[in-house]
Amino acid sequence: IHRYLPSSYLAEMDIQSVCGFSVTKPIPSRLTSAAALKLEGSVENGATVLNHSMTLVQRLETLLAQGNGSDVILRIVTLSTDEVKVIQAHSLVLSLQSDVFTELLHTANSSNLVVRESADSAAVFDKFIRYLYCGDISVHLGQAIPLHRLASKYHVWSLQQGVTRYMTQHLSSDSPTGHVVTWYQYAMKIGDMTLRNSCLQYLSWNLSSVIQSSEWRSVSEELLMSLMQRSDLVLQNELELYEALEAWISHNQPADAVAENALQAVRYSMISPQHLFRLQKQSPLMLKYRESVRDLLFLTFQFHAASPIQLAKYFTLNSSLFMPRNYLSPAWGSPWVINNPTRDDRSFSFQTQLGPSGHDATKRVTWNALFSPRWLPLSMRATYSDHGSLQPTRTDGGLPRVIITPANSSPDFAGVSFQKTVIVLARQQGKVVVRHVYSFHQSTEETGNFLLDADLQRRASEYLIDSSLYLHVIVKPIYHSLVTTRK
């Protein structure tokens, strides 16, 4: 009655020897090494490889399309509808690619195999089966999740890994309604932390666009809180985040506790008193939850009223309330486009506010920034002088470096240290996206890896956009607690 190959036979079978089935073998690295071996062999004994792998793949595709010699009928039942899709398949191919199919075929008692799938998985089931026969597949943004789900369910690991890679490489792709929030939520559900973190970082570094897209409303409570707690969000200013939160809450109508938690994660100190007055009087959200942010607003107005050093005598200023995020608005920093960055050193001056506090916001600090394309670390220069040679300050072995220093010193700087952040933009899938965020005190040398993999010498480097390096420099005042000197 069993018309299928017993699984023991399959297990012992030399996969390579079954009429060149290596084409559909799931592990690409082994495929390449096998090909390399063959190539070497041909050089050694003067043989020539006749390569008809493509024809074989085409034949397998025809075999699937016409169903000749089929020994199993796959019936794909769409959950919650009575729709059934039928595929004439071959147990040999299914078993070769998936131990789940091997098991299903083993336990089924007729040549009918019924599988139940959600509507989106059922829609790509043909594609999925075709991949099992041909080893290639075309993927659209909207098909990534159902294909990943099928690959996981049927243990087709090569496809699963391929789709994960596809997703991490297509976070910035254009889609009418956005897709990264959905991918984040899927990654959370299946517990793929690498994919989740890639999505979360992309959303954090591109928050202004996400906030403006229709995708923003579909953000889950969990994702909203994960974002609200991050200091590395790249956005115009904190007010933009407050307004986005307002839109999210009014659309999603969450429980009071959720709204209160989210509201308490807003960094009110980074919003000017003028804007805060308006929110207090005119924002329906603020009026509704006035009680839950009362203490934060009180602390914020105290912050705005005095210099950081006066404040630090009485308060600990290490709460995230006083920690700036990566704000792109001009008060916080400046874009810096460096044309032909490998040519020579470049300098640049820009101004920022002394601090976000109402006490300081009108005071300006001028900053000098210096970019060196090939800076040699001190440790390496030391070895040169040991040998008595001239000290080269720049050689081909050096790495890019940015130093940012204030143009002059001021007593106003007391109680504040200025953290510098350089945002590096790069091209991905034809889009300009934030690629790195480096934070340091004075020099990118402190980070140890500034533009380490950028390869600015290479014309095609993804970090060169029209042969320029696109940076955005941000200066963040960090307030010291004077806890140690407090009596």
- Residues of this chain that bind ligand NAG (CB under 6 A): 35, 38, 49, 51, 53-54, 62, 66, 68, 107-109, 172, 206, 209, 316, 318, 431-434, 481, 483
State in angstroms the smallest separation of the CB of 18 from ligand NAG: 17
Give least dist CB 128 to ligand NAG, A: 22
What does the alpha-carbon distance between residue 76 and residue 117 come to, in Å, rounded to a whole number? 7
- Which of residues 324 and 358 has its CB atom nearest to ligand NAG in the complex? 324
Which tokens go with 462?
Answer: 């993804």
CB atoms within 10 A of CB 333: 25
Instruction: Tell me phi and psi for residue 407, to 5 degrees.
Output: -65, -30
38 or 458: whose CB is closer to ligand NAG? 38
Least Å distance, CB 462 to ligand NAG, is 13
H or E stretch including 385?
A: helix 378-386
Closest distance to ligand NAG from the beta carbon of 131 (Å): 16
Tokens found for residue 129: 């089966």
Sequence letter at residue 462: E
DSSP, residue by residue, 418-452: EEEEEEEEEEETTEEEEEEEEEESSBGGGGS-TTT
**Closest to 375 in 3D by CA, of 359, 393, 350, 391:** 393
Residue closer to ligand NAG (CB basis): 81 or 484: 484
**Cα–Cα distance for residue pair 168/160, rounded to 1 Å:** 13
Residue identified by tokens 């707690």 is 229
- Of the two residues 268 and 289, which places its CB atom closer to ligand NAG in the complex? 268
CB of 191 to ligand NAG, least distance (A): 26
Nearest residue (CB) to ligand NAG, 19 versus 432: 432
Q: How far is the CB of 481 from ligand NAG (least distance, A)?
A: 6
Contacts of 72 (CB under 8 A, 6+ apart): 4, 88, 89, 90, 91, 94, 105, 111, 112, 113
Burial track 34-51 (b if 16+ CB lie within 10 A, e otherwise)? eeeeeeeeeeeeeeeeee
Which residue, among 249, 281, 284, 287, has the nearest Cα to 265 in the 3D structure? 249
Token pair, residue 84, equals: 């059934």
Residue recorded with tokens 């190959």:
5
**Beta carbon nearer to ligand NAG, 104 or 354:** 104
| Cβ nearer to ligand NAG, comparing 134 with 370 | 134
Half-sphere exposure of 314 (CA within 13 A, CB side): 7
Instruction: Report the residue number, 23 or 361, with the smaller CB distance to ligand NAG.
Output: 23
Contact 400, 454 (CB under 8 A): yes
Identity of the residue, 23 or 370, whose beta carbon is nearer to ligand NAG in the bound complex: 23
- In the complex, minimum distance from the CB of residue 445 to ligand NAG, in angstroms, rounded to a whole number: 26
Check if the beta carbon of residue 363 is closer than 8 Å to that of residue 308. no
Q: How far is the CB of 178 from ligand NAG (least distance, A)?
A: 8
| Smallest distance, ligand NAG to C-beta of residue 473, A | 15
- Residue closer to ligand NAG, measured from CB, 317 or 354: 317
**Closest CB 418 distance from ligand NAG, rounded Å:** 19
User: CB–CB of 105/72 below 8 Å?
Assistant: yes
180-216 CB burial, b ≥16 within 10 A, e <16:
bbbbbbbbbeeebeebbebbbebbbbbbbbbbebebb
Give the span between the Cα atoms of 372 and 387, in whole angstroms: 25
Q: Which is nearer to ligand NAG, 113 or 369 (CB)?
A: 113
The CB-of-314 to ligand NAG minimum distance in angstroms stands at 13
